[in-house]
Structure 1
């Protein structure tokens, strides 16, 4: 899949004008991009406007790998997890999870 395939999949039958308006990309700028290549900035704005992860088009474009995205997600999750959640996950990974309260 390339960025044009991704664009078609995400926006469906929406017109270029509708996509530009929904994503907040100026129409004339976006019209030129659709004819040549969509920029990463526009692709991220489209993803957000259509409820898709903003990293998705960046992976499609080869600017990020799925491993990059996974690493970002796991590091963010750990920093937001509470102590009890961390202890339960550690116990599960060590195979000592007895299902009890922490």
Structure 2
């Protein structure tokens, strides 16, 4: 059975709560921590070494894209999924270039 420990990152508590509930409906997926900023995500990644980070691209302060770049630079094997409400293809392109 698949077992994955996730770090969930979004600046909105309601979004994190909803995503947590949806993700944890799948056996083997465990949200081990939540962060409300890119800065906090970077710190928690180093401390917890989750299997996957699920992160919003747009957050105040250090956004998801910059946080992902920094995590990948320090931990090249990191697996990060970025989501966005934006329909602009440039966000997806930037994320792919960052290694997400």
TM-score by length of 1: 0.26
Structure (1 or 2) with the larger CA radius of gyration: 1
Q: Which has the higher strand share?
A: 2
TM-score by length of 2: 0.26
